[in-house]
């Protein structure tokens, strides 16, 4: 009914102070991510944070590639 990540919330949120311990790391390395989130709306709400990472130089063959 709604696209992925549509965000059905009755309030708004502000993200600030994003910190990542490293922007270049191996799959066995530990990385910490932190930030400040604030409800900037008029009503109480909850937010689910999602973190997406990618392998810039993937050696895996993807579907449709030859």
Within a domain: 22: yes
| Closest of 5, 7, 11 to residue 39, by C-alpha | 11
Q: What is the DSSP string of 20-65?
A: ES-SS--TTS---EEEEEEE-SSS------------TT--SPPTT-
pTM to 2 decimals?
0.62
Q: Is the pLDDT of residue 37 over 90?
A: yes
- Split at pLDDT 50, 70, 90, the class of 4 is low
Within a domain: 32: yes
Within a domain: 2: no
Mean pLDDT of 36-46: 94
Within a domain: 31: yes
Range of the domain at 48: 11-53
């Amino acid at each position: 009914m709604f696209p992925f990540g549509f965000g059905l919330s009755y309030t708004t949120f502000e993200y600030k102070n994003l910190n990542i311990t490293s922007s270049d790391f191996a799959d066995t390395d530990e990385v910490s991510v932190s930030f400040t989130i604030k409800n900037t709306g008029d009503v109480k709400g909850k937010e689910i944070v999602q973190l997406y990472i990618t392998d810039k130089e993937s050696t895996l063959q993807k579907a449709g590639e030859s």
